[in-house]
Structure 1
Amino acid sequence: GGDNLKAAIFSAGFKEGCILLPLLGARAEVAFGPAGLGDLYVTSTSPFGRNRTMGEKLGTGKNLEE
């Protein structure tokens, strides 16, 4: 259950990245490579992704040094 909601959130995140990357000075095609779509996929689906792990730690009140 919840796969449609997960897909909607994933799609919204990807769309946001496609809009923000050029505004931040990155080439638009970066969104479709490992640093864009690849990173979004790992961060949102794998418990082992570095960004996800860091986000979960920050969410529990830990700081960057911990």
Structure 2
Amino acid sequence: MESDLLHTEKILADRKTFFLDLKENARGRVVKITEDVGGNRDTIMVPSEILGDFIAALSDIKATNDSQ
């Protein structure tokens, strides 16, 4: 299924590169998160409908990490 790239972000962290791509296809919008380590890639797809929940969970994890 063909999808259109609407927005992309790239994060460099040590030997890893993270790509965050907002894409849209006939079924809706998703955020594709790809981790690249030396050419090996792993990807997850997050439906745009749950982005708020996903970001809130990451914020909770960050707050826990920052408090230690």
TM-score (norm 2): 0.30
| Greater relative CO (CA pairs within 8 A, separation 6+) | 2
TM-score (norm 1): 0.30
Larger fraction in helix: 1
Larger fraction in strand: 2
